[in-house]
Amino acid sequence: MADNLTDAAENLALNFLFNNQTATRPTLPLKLKLMTANGSDSSAGTELGTSAGYTAGGLTVTFGAAASGAVASNADVTWTNMPAATIVAVEVWDTAGSPVRLAYGTLSASKTTNAGDTFTISSGSLTMSLA
């Protein structure tokens, strides 16, 4: 997801790099949420409802070390017993008391699930870059 940092994440990085400000790190673990409508830099998308099988607030996602200006997820993220839905995007949030949305982006292709399906974002297939 190139250039899909939220305004909050962009401001955090820019102030750290160029204004000598101390950055407050996101609270781990990070959570990956499935979205039925995409968000923007300034507003969240629509998270899949909590009907049968979907865990509201997302599942834990982890990333490897940055290389060449990018990071990639380093483990599968798998939802089982999905509801019938069309997933169009994902968002990455931290787990602070008031969670902060860090990144968002559309899937390369929308995914329609049937009730009971399993949906997986494979290790390495979720990438973040500043380019």
Q: Would you place residue 1 in the very low, low, confident or very high pLDDT band (cuts 50, 70, 90)?
A: low
Spell out the residues 6+ positions from residue 69 whose beta carbon is closer than 8 angstroms to its own: 129, 130, 131
What is the value of pTM for the model shown? 0.91
Tell me the DSSP string of 52-94: TT--TT-EEE-B---BTTEEEB-S-EEE-SPPSEEEEEEEEE-
pLDDT of residue 68: 87
What value does the mean pLDDT take over residues 62-87?
Answer: 93
pLDDT of residue 28: 96
Domain boundaries, the chain: 7-129
